[in-house]
A and B are shown apart, each in its own frame.
Chain A
Amino acid sequence: MTTMTAGLPPAGNAQLRTVDPAAAVARTRPRTTGAETISQTLIMAWRALKKMRRNPEQFFDVTLQPLLFTAMFAYIFGGAISGNVHSYLPLLIPGIVAQTVLTTCMSTGVQLREDMEKGVFDRFKALPMARIAPLAGPMVADLVRYLIAAGLTFVMGVIIGYRPGGGVLGVLGAIVLAIFTGWALAWIFTFIGTIAKSARSVQGISFLFLFPLTFLSNAFVPVTTLPGWLQGFVKINPVSHLVSATRALADHGVVTGEAGWTLLACLAVIAVFAPLSVRSYRRRM
């Protein structure tokens, strides 16, 4: 074939015989190091941030939900639960923070599932890279989303009259705790993302977890108003601990034992679901 090869010269007539297999074999390393894993995770986070910037509609849920839910819940339930909107806010705002952070971490799983179906994941699998990096990278990028969700909820609360008694430091503490909790719980949804058949089914399964966790908690109502059997579940629900800890921080500026329980629950979730996710991701290939 006498094809014109303008513009696509043979790969390397400048450096003939530059590839030396024996040297390449000698250079190989048996596994990724910790430093490589961290650097690869950060590169995957860079990729996820690029994607977020190019698809700004991904931010709809983390911007609209806190604004809408805060206003809606405050004006609808305020009078019924606390007598008036203003006195309901210290109870409600930390609850909404917990709820929005949880719904945000659900989309981590959905997006991972969508992402894994793309061709580029075939290349990630063929590369000598840490198997946790494609999972952990997007989760690092998602910290931005949790920050927006938690921050906007407080801003919206302040606009409609919430005056956090814990001051700036208390609110910041509450935001950091909520972000960490969101990040830890996201491993559950990442795991669901690696086992589910489609992005749609990830959403379905996730809602099954999410609704009982957020609504069967002390996020929106005082626990004492609930029937006794329900109180039992609400008290062991980790979301209740997060909400109580957030309230103590934002409303009173104190770190309580609830914060400790929340952290402990988070660590337990990571310890269980991070290895499960990596294993299931590895098996899928």
Chain B
Amino acid sequence: MTDITAVDAVGLVKAFGRLRAVDGIDLQVQQGEIFGVLGPNGAGKTTALQMLATLLPIDAGQARIFGVDVAREPHRVRQLIGVTGQFASVDEDLTATENLWMFGRLQGLRSADARAAARRLLAQFDLEEAADKPIAQFSGGMRRRLDLAASLITRPPLIFLDEPTTGLDPRTRGQMWDTIRGLVAEGCTVLLTTQYLDEADQLAGRIAVIDRGRKVAEGTPDELKASVGNSTLQVQLAEGADQELAVQVVRKIAGAEPVLTPESGRMNVPLDTADRAADVLIGFRQAGVAITSVNVDKPTLDEVFFAITGRGAIAGAGDGDDPHPAGTGTSEADAGHETVLEVQ
């Protein structure tokens, strides 16, 4: 049997008091893939991951890791997974080598084997020079690497990564991505959470978008981005410009529905290619729609979110979005709205 599903979760629920942090999520992760769970802060990503990793009790629903039931046999599941959280879970009072040795010993390695594993991992993660330094002197990137190394001592077949690159500089982030790809090349399965569409795009074969404890979309990165175009034209209409007319122009020329953002007179136009932006702008001029600023960019998570849920993704981030769109013509923020891109 080589194709047992790595993660098979049905109807996961976690409630904290009256808040349903995870409200009925299904996840299927196949062996050998990188599966991304994408969503803003507070969407329930981490909570879902912690339930799968036996760190939080499952309130309702069922989860199996390689066929082993998480709620019934947590001890078995813990032998199959490595968990790296958002905050480095290594011992600040010990050195890097001591940390890895201790985690190896705790998982049943003999002292010499644990020392060999520690040496191997420190070399692999470029931490040899810091091997005997206390963790307190480590940079953020070094801590993350040590943390990931600590999850790999016994070579578990499934790795949970909770926002593995949040807070890392771009270079370290690129290194972390390569390391994660390397794990999969070894035969590991990776389930990672992220706030960055870019990261999910780079790494994941499939992505589930989570919002308010529910899965609102699932698909490959391409399918997901196709829902918002490959490129986005952001236009600020001049004061008094005819918004209705602008929407009609966009429909005619780009063949897409513009997304009105919370700031009045501002709209995002999904485009197949960035080149189409010029056509839209020419269309505006011919129709007499005045604009004050223009920007062409790759779609952001915020736009994917906006397209899927009809409201801003990252509350309070960016330019202080009002959670409810001010303009008309946008779908109202309805919680139950679900766009399943791929039915599994």
B107 touches A10 (CB 8 A): no
For A46, the closest partner residue in chain B by CB is B102
Q: At the interface, yes or no: A123 with Cβ under 8 Å from chain B?
A: yes
Most-contacted residue by chain B among A25, A51, A133, A285 (CB, 10 A): A25
Q: How many residues of A contact B (CB 8 A)?
A: 51
Q: At the interface, yes or no: A24 with Cβ under 8 Å from chain B?
A: yes
A285 touches B55 (CB 8 A): yes
For A129, the closest partner residue in chain B by CB is B106
Query: Closest CB of chain A to B182's CB: distance in Å?
Result: 3
A8-B125, A47-B91, A47-B102 known; A22+B2 contact, CB < 8 A: yes
Stretch with Cβ within 8 A of B (4 or more), from A30-38, A213-221, A253-261, A272-280? A30-38
Q: CA–CA, A9 to B186, complex, Å?
A: 13
For B98, the closest partner residue in chain A by CB is A50
Most-contacted residue by chain B among A9, A12, A28, A128 (CB, 10 A): A128
Q: CA–CA, A125 to B85, complex, Å?
A: 12
For B176, the closest partner residue in chain A by CB is A8
Q: At the interface, yes or no: A43 with Cβ under 8 Å from chain B?
A: yes
8 Å CB contacts to B: which residues of A31-81? 31-32, 36, 39-40, 43, 46-47, 50-51, 54-55
A13 touches B106 (CB 8 A): no
Chain B residues with Cβ under 8 A from A50's Cβ?
Answer: 93-94, 98
Q: At the interface, yes or no: A16 with Cβ under 8 Å from chain B?
A: yes
Chain B residues with Cβ under 8 A from A36's Cβ?
Answer: 108
8 Å CB contacts to B: which residues of A1-25? 1, 3-5, 7-13, 15-22, 24-25
Most-contacted residue by chain A among B75, B106, B158, B183 (CB, 10 A): B106
Stretch with Cβ within 8 A of B (4 or more), from A93-101, A114-122, A168-176? A114-122
Partner of A17, one of B4, B107, B150, B187: B187
Chain A residues with Cβ under 8 A from B107's Cβ?
Answer: 127-129
Q: CA–CA, A127 to B92, complex, Å?
A: 18
Do most interface residues of chain A lie in helix, strand or loop, or is the interface mixed? loop
Contact digits for B137-165, partner A, Cβ 8 Å, 1 yes 0 no: 00000000100001010011110000000
Query: Closest CB of chain A to B68's CB: distance in Å?
Result: 7
Q: CA–CA, A8 to B141, complex, Å?
A: 12
For B81, the closest partner residue in chain A by CB is A126
Chain B residues with Cβ under 8 A from A197's Cβ?
Answer: none
Q: CA–CA, A118 to B94, complex, Å?
A: 13
B89 touches A119 (CB 8 A): yes
B55 touches A125 (CB 8 A): yes
B55 touches A11 (CB 8 A): no
Q: CA–CA, A29 to B157, complex, Å?
A: 16
For B143, the closest partner residue in chain A by CB is A119
Query: Closest CB of chain A to B102's CB: distance in Å?
Result: 6
Most-contacted residue by chain B among A5, A9, A118, A127 (CB, 10 A): A127
Most-contacted residue by chain A among B73, B93, B171, B175 (CB, 10 A): B93
Q: Which size class do B's interface residues fall under?
A: 35 or more
Query: Closest CB of chain B to A206's CB: distance in Å?
Result: 23
Query: Closest CB of chain B to A264's CB: distance in Å?
Result: 34
For A1, the closest partner residue in chain B by CB is B174
8 Å CB contacts to A: which residues of B90-109? 90-94, 98, 102-103, 105-108
Q: At the interface, yes or no: B185 with Cβ under 8 Å from chain A?
A: yes
A43 touches B155 (CB 8 A): no
Q: At the interface, yes or no: B78 with Cβ under 8 Å from chain A?
A: yes
Q: CA–CA, A28 to B54, complex, Å?
A: 15
Partner of A28, one of B68, B89, B103, B150: B68
A10 touches B75 (CB 8 A): no
B92 touches A126 (CB 8 A): no
A122 touches B55 (CB 8 A): yes
A28-B68, A43-B106, A128-B107 known; A19+B124 contact, CB < 8 A: no
Chain A residues with Cβ under 8 A from B182's Cβ?
Answer: 9-13
A16-B186, A123-B90 known; A5+B175 contact, CB < 8 A: yes
A19 touches B186 (CB 8 A): yes
Q: CA–CA, A224 to B150, complex, Å?
A: 61
Chain B residues with Cβ under 8 A from A12's Cβ?
Answer: 124, 182-183, 185-186
B103 touches A127 (CB 8 A): yes
Please provide the 9 A-B residue pairs with the shortest distance between their CB atoms, ordered closest to farther: A10-B182, A3-B174, A11-B182, A19-B187, A7-B126, A128-B78, A21-B157, A123-B89, A119-B89
Knowing that A9-B178, A25-B67, A122-B55 touch, tell me 14 more A-B residue pairs with CB under 8 angstroms: A7-B126, A8-B125, A11-B182, A20-B157, A21-B189, A22-B1, A24-B79, A32-B75, A43-B102, A118-B91, A119-B85, A125-B55, A126-B81, A129-B106
17 cross-chain CB contacts under 8 A:
A11-B179, A11-B182, A19-B188, A21-B158, A25-B66, A28-B80, A30-B76, A31-B75, A47-B91, A47-B94, A50-B98, A54-B134, A122-B55, A122-B87, A122-B89, A126-B78, A128-B78
